[in-house]
Amino acid sequence: MSNRPTAAELATAVREFLEAEILPTLDDQRLRFRTLVAMNALSIVERESPAPGEADWTMARRICAGDIRETDLAELKLEVAARLAIASPKFLGRYRSADETDR
Task: Give the footprint of other proteins on this chain (CB under 8 A).
Answer: 1-5, 9-10, 13-14, 16-17, 20, 55-57, 59-61, 63-64, 66, 68, 72-73, 76-77, 79-81, 83-84, 87-88, 91-92, 94-95, 98
Least spacing, CB of residue 64 vs other proteins, in Å: 5
Closer to other proteins at the Cβ: 23 or 92?
Answer: 92
Burial of 46 (0-12, 13-18, 19+ CB in 10 A): middle
Q: How far is it, in rounded angstroms, from Cα 27 to Cα 29?
A: 6
Nearer of residues 29 and 71 to other proteins, judged by Cβ: 71
ω into residue 5 within 30 of 0, thus cis?
Answer: yes
